[in-house]
Amino acid sequence: MIGCRRSPCQVLRVIAAFVCLTATVVAKVPNPNYADALTKSILFFEGQRSGKLPPNQRATWRKDSALHDGADKGVDLVGGYYDAGDNIKFHFPMAFTTTMLAWSVEQFKNTMGSDLQHAMEAIRWSTDYFLKATNIPNVVFAQVGNAEADHNCWERPEDMDTPRTTFAVTAQAPGSEVSAEIAAALAAASVVFKPSDPAYSKLLVNRAIQVFEFADKYRGSYNDSIGPWVCPFYCNYNGYNDELLWAAAWLLKATRKPIYWNYVKQNIINFKSDIESGVSEFGWDAKHAGINVLISKFVLDNPSNANPFLPYADTFVCSVLPESPINTVRYTPGGLMYKAGICNMQNPTALSFLLLTYARYMKSRVIRCGNIDVTQKMLIRFARSQVNYILGRNPMNMSYMVGFGSKFPQRIHHRGASLPSIDQYPQKIGCKEGTPYFLSESPNPNLHIGAVVGGPDIKDYFSDSRLSSAQSEPATYVNAPLVGLLAYFKAHP
């Protein structure tokens, strides 16, 4: 994480400012309606669907799109999700989104109520697609669509006329990170579906095993195989060792087979320098912190297996919490976790999910961060502060979830939402014909309910403009961990 070490005095000043601001905001704003936010955070995924939409589609401004994906390679790749505000299917972040949706359900399904069925449908929309993308042995389809051409247009997914080129990784041109992340997604989803659909769960886990074996046997980065088409959008910057461990950890959870425990134990040592360099990282590109939190569930009751997983997980906690004297994360004056780059909101949602999950695993255990003892309650309180910021407890006094609260982003950087739906404008809108809509200062004609945007800058300022994609573009991997957080706080308001 980007940041700098602080002296104890600086830490105290940061904490005092954070507490003071939080107290001020709390006095003005009532508790967010977590249940409403949960419903909307799941609905968002329906607006991101690609392919033939189902009869129960609730985001009705969206219509069928990309119905011939995969045809250039003679395969069926219809379905899946568009990752953000464009019309490309990037499988690496899509797979991470799926893994996190599944982990959210696995952890918090008992508090989801009527939203559970929609969450399961959101996962299955993706896993059905990944079963197609991994149906040929030693071939994993990794992307559909020419990103450069797509980003040169502003058109509805229903009108796409840019090349829908299909890109794959193979034994000769490997892509261990994307393949292993898909294996993790399939394994995580198999855990979720096991009670209700054991046959489908078995199909998922068996495919996960095959894809993981492919990823591990034919090691290499998809940067080297299909880099010109995935970069600079979703290059892999952290190597693929973390994805291999991540997939093995999920296969361990799904199968309980010793082979995966042995793989994780051995390779956490083999990949030591790689893991230690990113012990505080977690997102679509880096799974380091997630590996240790996930494995901590297995080792907390067995001290002989605690090293190095618990020390790594504890280091992650100490590097994130603002009151920790060794934290390495920056915060806005309003208290939002901040990491420079595109779509910052992925950091507070993903890292807060890990902290909440680890808190539930650790129970009464205390973590020592320098001279501070960190308890379960502190981790939960911090995760809530990040969720509350997103939902409106912030200096802008606005929700960063579209459709939630009385003030939220109106001009999100999203092609489908910013262009009139086919219901309102049946004629085709060509590649450059959508540009005036992109440049317009008018609110989007379609409300993409549940979309969480990239968020404010380091000074808590948000520019509600389509032109500021870093701030105004939503992404599936922002919402996926937020689903779990909201489900927990719905039951613990």
- In sequence order, what are the beta bridge partners of 144? 89, 166
Catalytic residues: 86, 413, 464, 473
Burial 125-152 (b: 16+ CB within 10 A, else e): bbbebbbbbbeeebbbbbbbbbbebbee
Gap between the Cα atoms of 456 and 394, Å rounded: 10
Query: CB within 8 A of 235, min separation 6: which ones?
Result: 223, 227
**What is the chain's alpha carbon radius of gyration, rounded to the nearest angstrom?**
21
What's the DSSP call for residue 172? S
Using an 8 Å Cβ cutoff, are 190 and 161 in contact? no
For residue 373, give the H/E element and its range: strand 372-374
Using an 8 Å Cβ cutoff, are 369 and 324 in contact? yes
Gap between the Cα atoms of 146 and 86, Å rounded: 11
Our CA angle for 70, 73, 78, nearest 5°, is 10
